[in-house]
Structure 1
């Protein structure tokens, strides 16, 4: 059992922090910008709450974090009330936020200077993966930092956890993940749209081709929603656009060419204009059915 803090109790963080108690058996203190959410979490899982990230981090062996973006991450880490001001020497900060590789390297340098460890560890699997404790966790950092954090992550909410390289490598890998998903969902949307226009039974088509080379997680888990036009669940379009903007910005830095990713991002912009900011990413189908 370890002493753990968790910062950020959104749709991902709330169940992830819960698994640290239920499955991991750890002693958990939580912080959330909206204190009522932290109280709800403590009432459900029996952990403790703290009024600031600094207070949550004090005395902890590990501090986990899952917030919105680079700015949110800096807000809970750096500054007089940030977690970094409360962390003890030798502790480990694990960031599950999907953020830039740049901020991961920045925070790793700050952590090293202050005498504690840092791992950037964005996740994939969505809300369902968080709730079921079967997330894929992509990590960047030193081998020493990762070796300490891996058992805590695996004890609670990971199906797969791997170190991909130095600080920032976890975020870069998450960018690869989102780039691949963008193209897959667009291809699946077009395939189902084509099947409908051709008068085929979409369910029968998917049951058949999902056993061959076209198979994917998106096909298995999203074709029904796409066929029925129901998108009020899952990973929101506005979150995907945030992730794709990070990927496209990094591509401009490293010289990668991402024409399909850029195009799909614009398709998602069209979905947002249709009122779909909070629709699941499978709603790319909706723009084909207008």
Structure 2
């Protein structure tokens, strides 16, 4: 291991070069190797399929788990987390459902808002790592934080799509672009974080890619539909992003504005 910020750190990524590009810690060949001797394991993967592959597949995390705490930060829905928690418990390990709320800047500043699905004892076991990342709070058992994260990302997607729609409509109606953005962010101040996209159409600084938005909306729609909720606005937003993905899926979510311009 290599010490980084007071922690002994090892890394693994399904694409090894991405781990190497970070330039910190020791990069391992397998997920199982990376967690040997670790007290706390932090995982971040794209979707439930990736989680099951990395945890349950050959040289996976479950194979090597031994009385460790797993901070699972992916946005993958509650079902897979409950499944993995039950499997990890057989090794004496604990899974903490720990979605991260905040931008890349918040990660670097250690000022993330972290919601947790776990017990108080599990949170205490991971407290040094959580404190380095930001402010953490428990919202319920495993799965509770994952449900809240889907709610959060759904609302973010809806408001972003609405902002894109109104920006294009405003310019078409002869409203100054800067004035339009100022008015819209008066109602939704959070959108100021995507000024580069909505006001200047610069989408390459990606904190939330369009493909990820569609994936999260699919998870949210599945979750809330199963519980009997009607989601016409969410479903329409999902289609707007999906329509833009073939050309712009790798860009920041503010690129949904392209859907209204094409």
**Same fold, TM-score > 0.5, yes or no:** yes
**Which one of the candidate residues 59, 80, 84 is aligned to 1:107?**
84
| 1:228 aligned counterpart, secondary structure | coil
> Is the Cα–Cα contact under 8 Å of residues 163 and 184 in structure 2 kept in the other structure?
no
Ranges in structure 2 where 5+ consecutive residues have no aligned partner: none
Structure 1 residue runs of 4 or more that deviate by more than 4 Å after TM superposition: none
Change in 2 beyond 3 A, CA 1:132/1:278 = farther
Displacement, 1:278? Answer: 1.0
1:87 equivalent in structure 2? 65
Give CA-to-partner distance per residue, 1:133-163, whole Å, 9 cap, x none.
43332221222112222331221x22x3221
Whole-Å separation in 1 of the counterparts to 2:250 and 2:58 = 34
> Is the Cα–Cα contact under 8 Å of residues 60 and 88 in structure 1 kept in the other structure?
no
Ranges in structure 1 where 5+ consecutive residues have no aligned partner: 5-19
Displacement, 1:209? Answer: 5.7
> Is the Cα–Cα contact under 8 Å of residues 35 and 65 in structure 2 kept in the other structure?
yes
For these two proteins, the number of residue pairs brought into alignment is: 261
**Which one of the candidate residues 30, 36, 39 is aligned to 2:11?**
30
Whole-Å separation in 2 of the counterparts to 1:252 and 1:205 = 35
Displacement, 1:52? Answer: 1.5
**Which one of the candidate residues 172, 181, 191 is aligned to 1:197?**
172
Give CA-to-partner distance per residue, 1:70-107, whole Å, 9 cap, x none.
12112221245212222222x20111111120000001
Q: After TM superposition, list the pairs within 5 Å mapping 1:158-177 onto structure 2.
A: 158=134, 160-177=135-152
Whole-Å separation in 2 of the counterparts to 1:186 and 1:250 = 21
Change in 2 beyond 3 A, CA 1:186/1:117 = same
Whole-Å separation in 2 of the counterparts to 1:266 and 1:289 = 16
1:7 equivalent in structure 2? none
**Which one of the candidate residues 74, 82, 96 is aligned to 2:73?**
96
TM-score, normalised via structure 2 length: 0.90
1:232 equivalent in structure 2? 204
- Aligned residues: CA RMSD: 2.2
| 1:124 equivalent in alignment to 2:101 | yes
Give CA-to-partner distance per residue, 1:26-60, whole Å, 9 cap, x none.
1111112233333343xx22x22222111111211
**Which one of the candidate residues 274, 278, 281 is aligned to 2:250?**
278
Q: After TM superposition, list the pairs within 5 Å mapping 1:1-290 onto structure 2.
A: 21-22=4-5, 25-41=6-22, 44-45=23-24, 47-79=25-57, 81-89=59-67, 91-155=68-132, 157-158=133-134, 160-207=135-182, 210=185, 212=186, 214-218=187-191, 220-234=192-206, 235-273=208-246, 275-290=247-262
Whole-Å separation in 2 of the counterparts to 1:72 and 1:134 = 27
Give CA-to-partner distance per residue, 1:207-245, whole Å, 9 cap, x none.
3564x4x03212x12244223333233221111111111
